[in-house]
Amino acid sequence: MKLKTTISALALIAAAGAAQAECSKVTFSDVGWTDITVTTSATKQVLAALGYDVDVKILSVPVTFASIEAGDVDVFLGNWMPAQEGAIKPYLDNGSAVLLNENLKGTQYTLAVPKYLWDKGLQSFADVAKFKDELDGKIYGIEPGNEGNGYLISLTEAGKAFEGMEVVESSEQGMLAQVRRLYPNQEAVVFLGWAPHPMNANFELKYLPGGEEFFGGEGVVNTITRKGFAEDCPNVAKLLTNQKFTLEMENQIMGNILDDNEEPDAAVLAWLKANPATVDPWLEGVTTKDGGDGLAAVKSELGL
């Protein structure tokens, strides 16, 4: 019995070692939101320092989940909940996507207005239609296909709260460019806002109640992987399971990227160098791809 147990244990160790050896490349989706660009860059740089090849694909949220199901994407760090609940549910239900970790708490995501517009009376979803003329009939959203845009578009249908209005789909950068254009002269604008994001420091904003059916209240961001990824890449999965980000971290790096025009990888690396202890808990129980000391390798390679 002891011999069989020992052989079984050795077999399990050998299988885990083989899986780690075969896992040399990890593919991420980045949906183009600056916060996800930040967290993906941080993870990419740590994995590269551990000896892994990392491929980052720029994909929309719907394409991300379809790619996870197809096995073309391994990891997505930007599952904002509850806003993406409807989008992710079919993939969680069929087992093609796996919720690996809650990597950020305290998020917010819904329609926002400048405080000057709030002070004029636009203080809820129900008030938006009252300001239709001042808003030029427009609500500004982010990239086409985004589930938040989709919900807002559904409210423009006959008999709904935003009947007859238009949801302008562009991108995070395009939407905020419009806000920057209108804000100095206190012109009316309503748009999708969220935290973490430096928009909350650049503009005095108010978030509108009334969209809780879709957007919920305070939210979280989850790490999602394809089916079987944790078994194929247990060492990487350990890193991803350990990872916790903070609003302060993301706000600061995003501000450096969006306000100071720093290149994302450089901004992330500079922040990690200024806050080197951040990676310590991420790397607990994590080795290099070849089985070496993970924390030492990352600190050496990244200069932390």
* Domain boundaries, given as residue ranges, for the chain: 23-106+219-302, 108-215
Question: CA 301, CA 168: separation in Å to the nearest integer?
Answer: 44
Average pLDDT of the segment spanning 20-44: 91
Which listed CATH number (3.50.50.60, 1.10.3720.10, 3.40.190.100, 3.30.360.10) goes with 108-215?
Answer: 3.40.190.100
What confidence tier does 217 reach under pLDDT thresholds 50, 70, 90?
confident
List C-alpha distances in Å: 95 to 91, 229, 278: 6, 12, 32
What confidence tier does 216 reach under pLDDT thresholds 50, 70, 90?
confident
Using a pLDDT cut of 70, give the percent of the chain over it: 93
pLDDT at 165 over 80: yes
pLDDT at 119 over 80: yes
* Amino acid 16: pLDDT: 43
Beta bridge partners of 25: 53
Average pLDDT of the segment spanning 198-216: 92
List C-alpha distances in Å: 66 to 39, 138, 144, 221, 293: 21, 30, 16, 19, 35
Q: Do the first three CATH levels of 23-106+219-302 and 108-215 match, i.e. the same topology?
A: yes
pLDDT at 99 over 80: yes
pLDDT in tens, 233-275: 999 999 999 999 999 999 999 999 998 999 999 999 999 999 9
* Amino acid 18: pLDDT: 43
> What's the CATH fold of domain 23-106+219-302?
D-Maltodextrin-Binding Protein; domain 2 (3.40.190)
For 46, the 3-state DSSP assignment is helix
pLDDT at 5 over 80: no
